[in-house]
């Protein structure tokens, strides 16, 4: 389903909105983190802090199973 936005959003942005709307809730936080990293910060506002788990898999930290303390 395509939406119409009042200010004339480009076709690519319209597609992006549509794809994001179809994501399962569990995928929203990681995708949001990627978009926040790519978007310039708005002047006068602080960046939102991300939860600790965002980016854990990409950083190689995983879930702690590779820790030498786990036997």
pLDDT in tens, 14-56: 999 999 999 999 999 999 999 888 887 776 555 667 677 776 6
Distance between CA atoms of residues 13 and 11, nearest Å: 6
C-alpha distances out from residue 5 to 10, 17, 43, Å: 9, 11, 25
The predicted pLDDT at position 26 comes to 92
Q: Tell me the two tokens of residue 62.
A: 């995983």
Mean pLDDT of 65-71: 59
The predicted pLDDT at position 39 comes to 83
Positive/negative CA dihedral, 5, 32, 35, 18: negative
- Asked if pLDDT for residue 60 goes beyond 60, the answer is no
Q: What is the pTM of this model?
A: 0.44
């Amino acid at each position: 389903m395509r939406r119409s936005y009042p200010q004339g959003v480009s076709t690519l942005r319209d597609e992006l909105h549509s794809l994001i709307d179809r994501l399962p809730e569990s995928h929203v936080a990681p995708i949001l983190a990627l978009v926040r990293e790519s978007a310039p910060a708005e002047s006068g506002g602080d960046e939102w802090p991300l939860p600790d788990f965002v980016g854990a898999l990409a950083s190689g930290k995983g879930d702690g199973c590779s820790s030498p303390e786990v036997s």
